[in-house]
Amino acid sequence: MLVVSTDDLETQRKFKAELGAPFPFIADPKGELAQLYDVKTPLLTYAKRRTFVIGADRRVTHIDEGGDAIDPEGAIRAAAKLLGGS
């Protein structure tokens, strides 16, 4: 799991520390990744909240949006299915 956000690196570091998150955070302040995944909001500098599960074949297999994207449980369940779990 990794987090990508349009926040700057320092904001990312602080948020990661607050959460105690054991996974990497990637700063995308120019919104380049957000643009590639079509989640960048027009005319604004932030991305829409989305959680993507990407398989070993590099295809997106699951997407959570909005409030569902805040809670990682749906993505965790989808990833577990990819790995043969339940």
Q: Write down the pTM of the prediction.
A: 0.60
77 — alpha (psi -120 to 50), left (phi > 0) or beta?
alpha
Q: For residue 86, what pLDDT band results from cuts at 50, 70 and 90? A: low
Task: For residue 28, give Cα distances in angstroms to 23, 32, 51.
Answer: 16, 7, 15
Structure token pair of residue 10: 């320092």
**Looking at this protein, which amino acid is placed at residue 46?**
Y
- pLDDT tens per residue, range 38-83: 777 766 666 777 787 888 888 888 888 877 777 778 888 888 888 8
